[in-house]
Copies of this chain bind each other. A is one copy, B any other.
Amino acid sequence: MSSQPIKTDLPWDTLASERIFENPWFALQQDQVRTHTGAEITYTYMQHPGVVAVVPVTADGQIVLIRQYRHTVKDWCWEIPMGGYDEDNSELVARKELLEEAGGVCQDLKYIAAFSAANGVGNIRCEVYLATGVELGSSQPETGELIEVAAKPRSEVMRMTRNGEITCGPSALALFLCEQHFPDR
């Protein structure tokens, strides 16, 4: 017996859709929607091209974190290299962000998983890559980014992650998702 999809058709209909704000990084979309109950509602959400996040592991098994100032939360956050989808494919974005934010190049790059960062208010898709055999040079941050780079033992980084010290949610989730794929040393 072949398995059947549980759901086939979309339960909500989009009756109209208007872009009410746009900048180079995201847009705000306002949809008129008929829900499964027949109710008509206005649903406004962020349309985003998506991001690629890279968990960088060095040849001697350290994980490379970056510490970045974030204007949205007025705070410094421990993160992994991550950037908006602005290339032909996500592997290119991963290599570019690893180089720009951490000054790193890698021997191997492996796709791990993808998730939505905030599916109630936007379609921000985050693709996770594990980069191994990473060698660090000097970071080349974009204008507007304020970043420090720190390579730390894997056990220390996963302790920080489990204890909630990695307050950038997508970075923390990417580290958890990569944990079972880390190289043996």
- Give me the interface of A with B, judged by CB distance under 8 Å: 6-7, 10-12, 14, 20-21, 23, 25-26, 28, 31, 33, 35-37, 39, 41-46, 48, 51, 69-74, 76-77, 82, 84, 112-126, 143-144, 146, 162-164, 166-170, 172-173, 176-177, 180
A113 lies within 8 A of B44 (CB)? no
Q: Smallest Cβ distance from A11 to chain B, in angstroms?
A: 5
B119 lies within 8 A of A168 (CB)? yes
Q: Knowing A11-B69, A71-B12 are in contact, say whether A23-B51 is a contact too (CB < 8 A).
A: no
A114 lies within 8 A of B164 (CB)? yes
B28 lies within 8 A of A164 (CB)? no
Q: Smallest Cβ distance from A169 to chain B, in angstroms?
A: 4
Q: Smallest Cβ distance from A154 to chain B, in angstroms?
A: 16
What CA separation (Å) do A166 and B114 show in the bound complex? 9
A169 lies within 8 A of B173 (CB)? yes
B70 lies within 8 A of A115 (CB)? no
A116 lies within 8 A of B168 (CB)? yes
- Name which residue of chain B comes closest to A33, CB basis: B71
Q: Smallest Cβ distance from A122 to chain B, in angstroms?
A: 6
Among B43, B118, B180, the residue within 8 A (CB) of A122 is B118
Q: List the B side residues contacting A73 at CB < 8 Å.
A: 116, 119, 123, 125
- Name which residue of chain B comes closest to A68, CB basis: B119
A169 lies within 8 A of B117 (CB)? yes
A46 lies within 8 A of B44 (CB)? no
B11 lies within 8 A of A116 (CB)? no
Q: Knowing A43-B71, A144-B39 are in contact, say whether A113-B169 is a contact too (CB < 8 A).
A: no
Can you list 22 residue pairs at the A/B interface with Cβ under 8 Å? A20-B21, A21-B21, A21-B44, A25-B120, A33-B71, A35-B144, A39-B144, A48-B121, A51-B120, A72-B120, A72-B121, A73-B125, A115-B167, A116-B169, A117-B170, A118-B122, A118-B170, A119-B167, A121-B124, A172-B173, A172-B177, A173-B176
